[in-house]
Amino acid sequence: MKKKNDFWIRFFTGFIYVFMIIFSIEKGEKIFRMVMMILSFFCLFEFLVILKTNTTLIKINSFFFLFSIFLDFLVEKDIFLYIICFIPYSITFFIIQLFSKGVSHQEKIRQISHLTFGLVYVLIPFFLASYIYSKYGKELILGTFFLIWTNDTLSYLIGIKWGKIKIDISISPKKSIEGFIGGLFFCLILGILLSNIWGEKYWFILSFIIPIFSTIGDLVESTIKRSYNVKNSGVWFPGHGGFLDRLDSFIFVIPIIATIATGIVYFF
């Protein structure tokens, strides 16, 4: 009974998340960009909390992040408005750390490295998602989400039912080879369908690449959490955890998609 309840809770919260993403994509580039900015804010917040970053610093600098989202709502600009949050957020964070009293130099460097890592690991993928939408259209970003969701869902269900051989039990006890193969198989089927629907041959290639990097992204986030003895990044999505738990695959996949898309444009 508990497993059944957990499944339906996971399904319901996952459905809300999927609906929000599809709705934002269909509503246009600006709405999608704002949703990406909001999600990146929560993911970065959770990431810095996991790494035991000074929470006062996080709250103070969050003002700049939220201001950039508010500014994007008011002003008709392109995706590079998203970068506005990077500069004041980083500079303020660095200055506060530089003049902090009673904190060792090693601790200052550690706190700054947390933010720098967070900007690269968390924020850049969300910026690239907006860039992909703007540059290559909504089909590429929508299909990427479909493949990520298919892999996450089917690898989870197949792993729960038939998973015996664990990928790395020290990192993620629930990740299995059987689950990975199952997710990959269904992604390949979806890739063929997307190729037929949108008439692009690269979907079959992406349907093979995305499950691999989606799984790696999940394992990377699990490694970070285990390093700090944290089970979930948050409690916003019952059955899934926090925003970072829900988007860990996306964070790792999107830079790969952006690289492939750019390479195709410039070299083919």
Structure confidence at residue 228 (pLDDT): 83
Spell out the domain ranges in the chain: 2-267
Structure confidence at residue 40 (pLDDT): 86
Structure confidence at residue 233 (pLDDT): 73
Q: Which residue has the tokens 């051989």?
A: 165
At 226, the amino acid letter reads: R
| Cβ-contact 233, 225 below 8 angstroms | yes
- The helix/strand/coil state of 83 is helix
Q: Going by C-beta distance under 8 Å and a sequence separation of 6 or more, which residues neighbour residue 34?
A: 24, 69, 72, 73
Structure confidence at residue 78 (pLDDT): 60
As given in the structure block, the two tokens for residue 221 are: 């986030």
As given in the structure block, the two tokens for residue 2 are: 């508990």
Structure confidence at residue 190 (pLDDT): 94
- Helices and strands (DSSP H and E) totals, the chain: 10, 2
Please give the model's pTM, rounded to 2 decimal places: 0.87
Q: Which residue has the tokens 């600009």?
A: 77
Structure confidence at residue 120 (pLDDT): 85
Residues of the chain with pLDDT under 70: 1-11, 61, 75-85, 169-170, 234-240, 265-268
